[in-house]
Amino acid sequence: MSDYDKYVEQLRHPDNPIVFMEMTAGGAPLGTIVMELFADVTPRTAENFRQFCTGEFRKDGVPVGYKNSQFHRVIKDFMIQGGDFVNGDGTGMMSIYGAKFRDENFTLEHSGPGILSMCCNVGAVDEAHANAGTDTNGCQFFITCAKTDFLDKKHVVFGRVLDGLLTVRKIENVQTGANNKPKIPILVAQCVCCIENRYFIVVLLGEGAVGKSSILMRYVENKFISRHTSTIQASFQSKQLVLDRSSVTLNIWDTAGQEKYHALGPIYYR
């Protein structure tokens, strides 16, 4: 079973998006945080976050979003806060709906570590001042490091960590200075939304098979699963890659083989 299939099994709803954030600390790889967005409960909030992960949203024609943004505020045993790609210090605000948007609902709770929730206009998420004002959601978010039920009905929960809680813990334990800012930059080096069941037809043209096979082997790796049969002249290949900041599984089938055998996906070369 692939990692993606394991994530799908954990989803509270099969159509909820899965996003990945690759984190660095001082330029060194820190790990990946995999999150489910609760589009089944908070569709507007989830879509706002998803588009900032993929870079689909554009301002003046330029993609904007979480890539290369910082986690600017970390409080141990409480939460890690990021998403301010506007100013980088917790004062910035932007959403795909305008400067800010309304609290969608407070259905879900801050029930434990790994809960993904929205910050308000100036990012005032703390135990003393849990909310900076209703209906002031933008781009900033936080991930809980513990149960924080005092934030229920004040901040909109819209996702959770599926994998990578250890990475969250690493961020939680970095040294901080004034205003709980990490002393070394904690950056989102890459962020993508996984796309499942999206296929592209790729046809490699050429006079002979050798050149096409060379290209095929350069970009993919041998990978088989039990329900597919490999035969002479039939080659099944697959690779996961990032395409336009989305995680895509590329499946290629050498159709020189017997047509009765099914490919991993409707992608092929001739």
Place of tokens 């991930």: 143
User: What is d(CA 22, CA 35) in angstroms, rounded to the nearest whole number?
Assistant: 11
According to DSSP, the β-strands at 73-75 and 115-118 are unpaired
Q: Which of 14, 33, 28 is nearest to 160 (CA)?
A: 33
Query: Do 50 and 44 contact (CB within 8 A), yes or no?
Result: no
133: left (phi over 0), alpha (psi -120 to 50) or beta: left
The residues pairing with 74 across neighbouring beta strands, listed in sequence order, are 80
Are the beta carbons of 80 and 168 closer than 8 angstroms? yes
CB 18 within 8 A of CB 35: yes
Q: Encode burial over 163-183: b for 16+ CB neighbours within 10 A, e otherwise.
A: bbbebbebbbebeeeeebbbe
Torsion of Cα atoms, 79 then 4 then 197 then 188, to 10°: 40
Could you tell me the maximum CA-CA distance found in the chain, to the nearest angstrom? 71
Give the catalytic positions in this structure: 73, 78, 81, 131, 142, 151, 155
**Which residue pairs from 207-215 have beta carbons closer than 8 angstroms and sit at least 24 positions apart in sequence?**
209/256, 212/269, 212/270, 213/254
